[in-house]
């Protein structure tokens, strides 16, 4: 924060007689009231990233063409960067200060470029083996993230996965047109490459018990995900031709044949509903219609996904709630809906109200129900001794459960069900487990390595505490000096045309070229972080900003600095702090 200027303390200081021979008093710094210093602060994109990626650091490296360093920096914080570059909801962009200037930086596209560039074999070298063994239950984004960082710390890690393939929701819950299988497979292969072992077709509670794992391992991380679809509880929902979105997407991703007819109805307005609708279209349905409770603005699905679905010809009807399934000879033939007046109550809680007099029938040969997921009730029996809060495992801020040495993360331990949040919880779990194995208090460690105020942590800060410190202050647009920035158009996504998309499951969005990535990264304001633009050096009237081998040394010679504050004012990105100097 910028400290107010105060001359009271200096005015009270006694006058000291000066001698011509006293060299110290010939230096301008002797009568300085204000003292500038370099201080990295927290950019809003970094604070908003659930994974804790050093976004500005990556952008600065990409803008300079140092792509291998950018890839290494990204992988130090996110082992699933290629996945996030495609399937993350990128909250970083919604907080980008540049959006108040022209348009937010296309962080997601640059991240995808860096992740794909780095898949040529750049690896993170694990620390020396500790002799400790950790079991991870579930190979979704939380489990993979936790296992990766534990392996980097030198622990022996084994993941137990119930499905025949690793990846969890990444592998069976997201269609290939949005997240290609080869991207997931190469990320998992890289994680296995640093020593993580994955046991598939191994379900805890059937093939192995929680008690067995606790005996064989020094610590456990539970991240089985939430893979049970919620049902509507309406008569006829178990009819032939009715599937949950989870079951439908799983079968599609596993290569099974699924036929729902030419007219398909999807009930729901979230991302799973959009994925199911677009997948049904690609499987040959002639008409796909989505019906949901929410208004267009209330739909939880990503806005871009909704727009792409409509471009492909999917019809979306908002403000209707299902009342009963229509059947003909044991097979679904449609659904009857009533008008939804409101979805949430005055306190923002889910509490839909309806006008039962207004009804609407939609005929369909197949219906996909996509109204959310929940934990499998059998898990509570399987994980005896662990406290639950509703459908979620109850955890402390460190991810610890009620059982000693057992931690949990991902969707099973959080109401926030998305990939970035899951990866972030896996990182926190890895740090907490490492602290547990070393007999250190995890809570204080997690506070020290936190990025911003939402709980994301920096693995670089944890593994390399000697790295440059950063103030937790989150830089706002009003802190910047935008006079030094020029308007520049944001890079646009290049996509398959709508008629091309419907022909198969080929990835819809293309990556960007190196030149485009460098140009887009150059749009980054580098909020709160010195990128050596040189303004401080050029404007300093006392030549007190020091350089080292032609680069800004981020140091000031206080013997000659008179505290005028010009460097502070002319810094475009608020990477300097000006404060009253104590005497």
Q: Which residue has the tokens 């819950």?
A: 173
In sequence order, which ranges of 53-94 are alpha helices (DSSP H)? 55-63, 67-77, 81-87, 91-94
The DSSP 8-state label assigned to residue 474 in this structure reads B
Pair 405, 211: CB distance under 8 Å: no
Dump pLDDT digits (tens) for 294-334: 999 999 999 999 999 999 999 999 999 999 999 998 899 99
CA distance 458 to 450: 6
* Residue 543 CB contacts under 8 Å (≥ 6 apart), including other chains: 560
Stretch 449-477: mean pLDDT: 87
Pair 145, 430: CB distance under 8 Å: yes
Could you tell me which residue, 573 or 453, shows the higher pLDDT?
573
Q: State percent of the chain over pLDDT 70.
A: 93
* Residue 123 CB contacts under 8 Å (≥ 6 apart), including other chains: 190, 193, 194
Domains 133-226+375-440 and 231-371 share a fold: yes
CA distance 351 to 369: 19
SS3 content of the chain, % helix, strand, coil (to 5): 35, 20, 45
Q: Specify the DSSP element, H or E, that contains 35.
A: strand 34-38
* pLDDT of amino acid 342: 93
* pLDDT of amino acid 16: 44
* pLDDT of amino acid 29: 60
* pLDDT of amino acid 452: 74
Confidence of residue 583 (pLDDT cuts 50, 70, 90): low
Sign of CA dihedral 388, 449, 135, 249: positive
Pair 563, 32: CB distance under 8 Å: yes
**Whether residue 13 has pLDDT greater than 80:** no
Pair 546, 555: CB distance under 8 Å: yes
**Whether residue 14 has pLDDT greater than 60:** no
- Tell me the C-alpha to C-alpha distance, in Å, between residue 130 and each of 127, 155, 215, 221, 383: 8, 6, 18, 18, 28
Dump pLDDT digits (tens) for 114-168: 999 876 555 677 888 999 999 999 999 999 999 999 999 999 999 999 999 999 9
Q: Tell which CATH classification among 3.40.190.10, 1.20.58.740, 1.10.1060.10, 3.60.15.10 matches the domain 44-122+471-521.
A: 1.10.1060.10
Q: Domains of the chain: which residue ranges?
A: 8-40+530-580, 44-122+471-521, 133-226+375-440, 231-371
- Tell me the C-alpha to C-alpha distance, in Å, between residue 91 and each of 44, 49, 56, 95, 460: 10, 6, 15, 7, 21
Q: Which residue has the tokens 């005896």?
A: 384
CA distance 509 to 511: 7
> Under CATH, which number does the domain 8-40+530-580 receive?
3.30.70.20
Dump pLDDT digits (tens) for 544-563: 999 988 888 889 999 889 99
Tokens for 577?
């702090």
Q: State percent of the chain over pLDDT 90.
A: 77
φ/ψ bin of 372: left (φ > 0), alpha (ψ from -120 to 50), beta (otherwise)? left
CA distance 418 to 243: 22
CA distance 12 to 4: 18
Dump pLDDT digits (tens) for 68-83: 999 999 999 999 999 9
> How many residues are recorded in the chain?
583
Give the distance, in angstroms, between the CA of residue 200 and the centroid of all CA atoms in the same chain. 26
**Global pTM value:** 0.90
Stretch 521-538: mean pLDDT: 94
Dump pLDDT digits (tens) for 357-395: 999 999 999 999 999 888 888 888 888 889 999 889 999
CA distance 426 to 327: 44
Pair 523, 490: CB distance under 8 Å: yes
Average pLDDT, the chain: 90
Closest-CA residue to 312 (of 269, 283, 272): 283
Q: 3-class DSSP state for residue 279?
A: helix
* pLDDT of amino acid 453: 64
Tokens for 527?
């909020």
Residue 34: strand pairing partners: 580
Q: Which residue has the tokens 């091309």?
A: 500
Domain spanning 231-371: CATH superfamily: FAD/NAD(P)-binding domain (3.50.50.60)
**Whether residue 1 has pLDDT greater than 80:** no
* Residue 118 CB contacts under 8 Å (≥ 6 apart), including other chains: 67, 68, 70, 71, 72, 74, 75, 81
Pair 420, 49: CB distance under 8 Å: yes
**Cα 492-498-499 angle, rounded to 5 deg:** 145
* pLDDT of amino acid 10: 44
**Whether residue 94 has pLDDT greater than 70:** yes
| DSSP secondary structure, 125-147, as one string | PP----S-EEEEE--SHHHHHHH
Confidence of residue 475 (pLDDT cuts 50, 70, 90): very high
* Residue 50 CB contacts under 8 Å (≥ 6 apart), including other chains: 91, 418, 420, 421, 423, 424, 454, 455, 456
Pair 540, 566: CB distance under 8 Å: yes
Stretch 228-240: mean pLDDT: 91
Q: Tell which CATH classification among 3.50.50.60, 3.40.640.10, 1.10.490.20, 3.10.20.30 matches the domain 133-226+375-440.
A: 3.50.50.60
* pLDDT of amino acid 415: 85
Tokens for 411?
């969707």
The DSSP 8-state label assigned to residue 3 in this structure reads P
* pLDDT of amino acid 19: 39
Tokens for 540?
């300093």
Residue 412: strand pairing partners: none
Backbone angles phi, psi at 451, to 5 degrees: -115, 115
- Classify burial at 220, counting beta carbons within 10 Å of its beta carbon; exposed 0-12, middle 13-18, buried 19 or more: buried
């Amino acid at each position: 924060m910028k400290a107010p200027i105060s001359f009271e303390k200096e005015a009270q200081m006694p006058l000291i007689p000066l001698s011509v021979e006293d060299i110290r008093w010939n230096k301008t710094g002797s009568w300085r009231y204000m003292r500038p210093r370099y201080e990295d602060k927290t950019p809003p994109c970094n604070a908003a990233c659930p994974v804790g990626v050093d976004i500005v650091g990556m952008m600065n490296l990409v803008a300079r063409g140092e792509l291998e360093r950018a890839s290494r920096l990204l992988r130090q914080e996110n082992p699933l960067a290629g996945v996030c570059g495609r399937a993350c909801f990128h909250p970083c962009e919604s907080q980008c200060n540049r959006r108040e200037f022209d348009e937010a930086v296309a962080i997601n596209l640059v991240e995808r470029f860096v992740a794909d560039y780095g898949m040529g074999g750049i690896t993170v070298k694990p620390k020396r083996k500790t002799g400790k063994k950790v079991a991870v239950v579930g190979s979704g984004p939380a489990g993979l993230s936790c296992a990766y960082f534990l392996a980097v710390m030198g622990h022996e890690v084994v993941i137990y996965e119930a499905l025949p393939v690793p990846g969890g929701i990444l592998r069976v819950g997201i269609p290939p047109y949005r997240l290609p299988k080869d991207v997931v497979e190469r990320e998992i292969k890289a994680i296995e490459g640093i020593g993580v072992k994955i046991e598939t077709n191994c379900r805890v509670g059937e093939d192995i018990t929680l008690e067995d794992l606790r005996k064989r391992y020094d610590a456990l991380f539970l991240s089985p995900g939430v893979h049970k679809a919620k049902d509507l509880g309406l008569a006829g929902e178990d009819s032939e031709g009715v599937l949950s979105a989870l079951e439908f997407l799983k079968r599609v991703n596993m290569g099974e044949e699924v036929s729902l007819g030419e007219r398909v109805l999807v009930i729901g307005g979230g991302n799973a509903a959009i994925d199911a609708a677009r997948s049904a279209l690609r499987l040959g349905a002639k008409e796909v219609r989505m019906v949901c409770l929410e208004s267009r603005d209330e739909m939880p699905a990503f806005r871009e996904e909704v727009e792409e679905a409509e471009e492909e010809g999917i019809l979306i009807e908002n403000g209707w709630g299902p009342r009963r399934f229509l059947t003909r000879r044991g097979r679904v033939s449609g659904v009857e809906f009533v008008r939804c007046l409101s979805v949430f109550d005055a306190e923002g809680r889910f509490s839909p109200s309806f006008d039962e007099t207004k009804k609407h029938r939609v005929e369909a040969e197949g219906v996909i129900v996509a109204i959310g997921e929940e934990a499998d009730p059998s898990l509570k029996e399987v994980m005896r001794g662990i406290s639950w809060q509703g459908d979620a495992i109850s955890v402390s801020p460190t991810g610890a459960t009620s059982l000693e040495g057992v931690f949990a993360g991902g969707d099973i331990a959080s109401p926030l069900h998305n990939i970035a949040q899951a990866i972030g919880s896996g990182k926190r779990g890895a740090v907490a487990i490492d602290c547990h194995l070393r007999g250190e208090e995890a809570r204080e460690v997690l506070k020290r390595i936190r990025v911003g105020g939402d709980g994301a942590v920096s693995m670089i800060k944890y593994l390399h505490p000697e790295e440059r410190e950063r103030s937790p202050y989150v830089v706002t647009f009003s802190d910047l000096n935008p006079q030094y920035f020029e308007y520049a158009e944001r890079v646009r996504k290049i996509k398959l045309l709508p008629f091309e998309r419907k022909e198969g499951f080929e990835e819809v969005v293309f990556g960007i070229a190196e030149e485009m990535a460098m140009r887009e990264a150059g749009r980054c304001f580098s909020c709160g972080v010195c990128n050596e633009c040189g303004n401080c050096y050029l404007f300093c009237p006392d030549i007190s900003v020091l350089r080292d081998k032609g680069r800004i040394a981020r140091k000031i010679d206080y013997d000659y600095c008179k505290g005028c504050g010009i460097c502070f004012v002319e810094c475009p990105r608020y990477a300097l702090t000006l404060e009253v100097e104590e005497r």
